[in-house]
Amino acid sequence: MAWDFETDPAFQKDLDWIDRFVREEVEPLDLLLASPYAVNDPERNRLVKPLQAEVRRRGLWACHLGPELGGPGYGQLKLALMNELLGRSAFAPTVFGCQAPDSGNAEILARYGTDAQKRRYLEPLLANDIVSCFAMTEPQSGSDPLLFTTKAVRDGDHWVLDGQKWFASNANYAAFYITLAVTDPDAAPHRRMSCFIVPAETPGIERIRDVHVAGRRADGHSHGYLQFRNLRVPADHMLGAPGEAFAVAQARLGGGRIHHAMRTIGEARKALDMMCERAVSRPARRGTLADKQLVQAMVADSWIQLEQFRLLVLRTAWLIDKHDDYKVARKHISAVKAAMPKVLHDIVSRAIQLHGSLGVSDEMPFVEQLVSSYVMGIADGPTEVHQVVLAKELLAAVKPADGLFPSRHRPALRERALAAKGRAKADHAA
């Protein structure tokens, strides 16, 4: 039996270094640069590239990837302990080579890409010479793929795509988009779509507009509203076989959800740290805010929420490592995804309250963190969908009661207990 809450000393040294490095070298970039995805910005590269080189030198680059792709092949549990430190900074995942959506897109390319696709797209993506976009959702259907209408029709050596994509992350910086389109409308629902690599320079792509998350810098990375009009994609740019888009997409979404949760721990802990500092620093009529019982309750509730969530994330990561299969941990991933927005929202809201007017100003990061909590409730599937997935899995394992009353109905239990007692008494007498 193994049940351990300790990190091995060698990896703990790595974590201690990551903690200091992110705090001292990486977090300042959040205040100086527009976006970690602006790979053509000379100032961004001047500041980011040396940090990436130091991470590589320490063997901590792209730890989610196996050695064949230039990473150390860490399991999800190690990644969880790393990502909760990286979650404090918008630039940290890029400095460590594990930023979304590139990490998930790299996973797709590694698993489904041809040798030619890997050379053209995967290799520069892993080096962070380019960034990518996952263009899945559509304006009329959100993230429900069964309602997608973007279509692709075969025409000789090309597929011709027509339709719209919405909230395509990093569309303004991406060198290519991975997108889904209906290729066989008459097939079974989960076999209707195929997955394509679309180079950003392809004629027929129109950026209707760049959409920005409220409160984020307008000169940063956007979430594009895209129009595909008679967009011709070479036939060899399909990822996987025709009709496999669901399988391809799920190859990235399971990992993406748990990694979002790992980083959210870091975001929430940053808010909790600021809350605690404010409590002990801010004078009140008698003592400080930390001497007020309601403030103490806010701090305690925040710590409890965060630790409960962290343990759920770590256990989910452990299960994925144990079984090497996201499907086995499906309900745990859904539970993590459903819990994540509320944990971040509640802790940040309390931090805002303790900071008063300063908390709602742009001189503190709380409002952006609060918006992030809502983003986490939408990204990679809305909270409600994951609640339904979790509930269905839990209820499917439950056997209905045999009779009219529940199996724990006390009169029936008492009757069975008396009968068992009587049999025992009779056996003893015999």
- The string of pLDDT tens digits covering residues 407-426 is 999 999 999 999 988 887 77
CA geometry: angle 190, 191, 196, nearest 5 deg: 105
- Write the pLDDT tens digit of every residue in 171-217: 999 999 999 999 999 999 899 999 999 999 999 999 999 998 887 77
Pairing of strands 205-211, 238-239: unpaired
User: Region 368-380: what's the mean pLDDT?
Assistant: 93
Name the band, by pLDDT with cuts 50, 70 and 90, for residue 22. Answer: very high
Asked if 49 and 29 touch (Cβ cutoff 8 Å), the reply is: no
| Residue boundaries of the structural domains of the chain | 9-99, 132-239, 247-396
> 3-state DSSP call for residue 128?
coil
pLDDT at residue 36 in the model: 95
| Token couple for 6 | 């300790």
In this structure, whether the domain defined by 9-99 belongs to CATH 3.40.640.10 is answered with no
Q: Which CATH class is domain 247-396?
A: mainly alpha
User: Region 47-66: what's the mean pLDDT?
Assistant: 95
Name the band, by pLDDT with cuts 50, 70 and 90, for residue 71. Answer: confident
> 3-state DSSP call for residue 171?
coil
Residue 44 has pLDDT above 70, yes or no: yes
- Write the pLDDT tens digit of every residue in 206-225: 999 999 888 777 777 889 99
User: Region 101-125: what's the mean pLDDT?
Assistant: 94
pLDDT at residue 1 in the model: 63
CB under 8 Å to 281, separation ≥6 — which residues?
Answer: 288
Average pLDDT, the chain: 93
pTM of the model: 0.92
Residue 163 has pLDDT above 70, yes or no: yes
Q: Which CATH class is domain 132-239?
A: mainly beta
CA geometry: angle 280, 285, 286, nearest 5 deg: 65
Asked if 90 and 146 touch (Cβ cutoff 8 Å), the reply is: no
For residues 256 and 37, give the distance between their C-alpha atoms in angstroms, rounded to a whole number: 18
User: Region 355-364: what's the mean pLDDT?
Assistant: 96
Tell me what percent of the residues of the chain surpass a pLDDT of 70: 99
